Amino acid sequence: MRRILWAAAALALLAFLGLDAGSAGEKKSDGGFVPIFDGKSLEGWHISAKSGHSAASKHKSGGKWEVKDGVITGTQDIPGNGGLILTDKKYKNYEIALEMNNDFGLDSGLFHRSTEDGKAYQTMIDYYKGGNLMGVYGEGLGGFHYRNYSFLDTPDKIKADDLAPTKLPIDPAKWSDLWKVGKWNTLKARITGNPPNIKTWINDVQFMDWTDDAKEKRLPDTGAIALQVHGGAPDRFFKLMVRYRNIRVKELN
């Protein structure tokens, strides 16, 4: 009886606050993150062909971007022609998390404070031999490039690199325990300040903590969030696909 009374009191309090049990649970579990992809359409996003990744196409299409089964998919629409898909909204300080299941062999990226022509702080999604996930790259910003590992011939194997201020947080032999090949994995990045500090995570393990030491701002304080299909290299990239879902953002003061 006491448990029943407590449950009734809790439900009454939720009703008084204008919540139901389900919404209260969701609010508690989302950690302040808000979805920016509805899983059904590209509402709130737009495609840009203004970056150099679309140079192969006379009609400047920006690649082929669609929504299939709750997933944003992207690919080169003709050999060598990629592009960007950007949020309509501009963001300043935030954390972003998304799930990724890309074909191995394709160059992509998560762009922060991006301009329409693709100048951005990029957290890399270079999912190919010699590539890297969640290192930091200056896309059109002077070419800075920081990473602490690279892929070998297959995505289940990596080697340590010493190109970043953050030491590789795992033994390369344990990589396959963290990264699930051919399955959905979670990538997360946090950007604050300007010049910014950028932190990145792969499946909740932090891989990068880097602060730009530029004396002046490289970009405005706000910009779009963007996903990339790299242009060029048609023999390597054409017909390969990027897949992203559960894209969510937590804006920070």
Residues 128, 15 share a domain: no
Rounded to whole angstroms, how far apart are CA atoms 203 and 248? 15
φ, ψ at 237 (rounded to 5°): -100, -25
Residues 128, 7 share a domain: no
The beta strands (E) that lie in the chain are given as 34-35, 45-48, 64-68, 71-75, 83-87, 94-100, 106-114, 120-127, 133-139, 145-151, 158-163, 185-193, 196-202, 205-211, 224-229, 242-251
Residues 244, 136 share a domain: yes
Contact 189, 96 (CB under 8 A): yes
Residues 43, 26 share a domain: no
Domain boundaries, position 18 = 1-30
pLDDT value at residue 48: 94
More confident residue, 252 or 142: 252
pTM: 0.87
pLDDT value at residue 211: 97
Residues 39, 6 share a domain: no
**pLDDT (tens digit, 9 = 90+) per residue, 218-243?**
999 999 999 999 999 999 999 999 99
pLDDT value at residue 228: 98
Residues 194-209, mean pLDDT to the nearest whole number: 98
Residues 85, 55 share a domain: yes
Confidence class for position 145, pLDDT limits 50, 70, 90: very high
Residues 172, 53 share a domain: yes
Rounded to whole angstroms, how far apart are CA atoms 243 and 70? 10
Rounded to whole angstroms, how far apart are CA atoms 69 and 73? 10
Confidence class for position 162, pLDDT limits 50, 70, 90: confident
φ, ψ at 177 (rounded to 5°): -75, -30
pLDDT value at residue 115: 98
Number of folded domains that form the chain: 2
pLDDT value at residue 11: 45
Residues 159, 208 share a domain: yes
pLDDT value at residue 19: 38
DSSP at 142: T
Confidence class for position 57, pLDDT limits 50, 70, 90: low
**pLDDT (tens digit, 9 = 90+) per residue, 17-48?**
333 333 333 333 478 999 999 999 999 999 99
Q: How many beta carbons lie within 10 A of that of residue 124, not counting itself?
A: 24
**pLDDT (tens digit, 9 = 90+) per residue, 111-142?**
999 999 999 999 999 999 999 999 999 999 98
Rounded to whole angstroms, how far apart are CA atoms 162 and 179? 20
**pLDDT (tens digit, 9 = 90+) per residue, 59-105?**
679 999 999 999 999 999 999 999 999 999 999 999 999 999 999 99
DSSP at 219: S
Residues 84, 49 share a domain: yes
Residues 17, 50 share a domain: no
Residues 170, 128 share a domain: yes
Helices (H), the chain: 2-16, 21-29, 175-178, 234-237
DSSP at 124: E
Residues 26, 101 share a domain: no
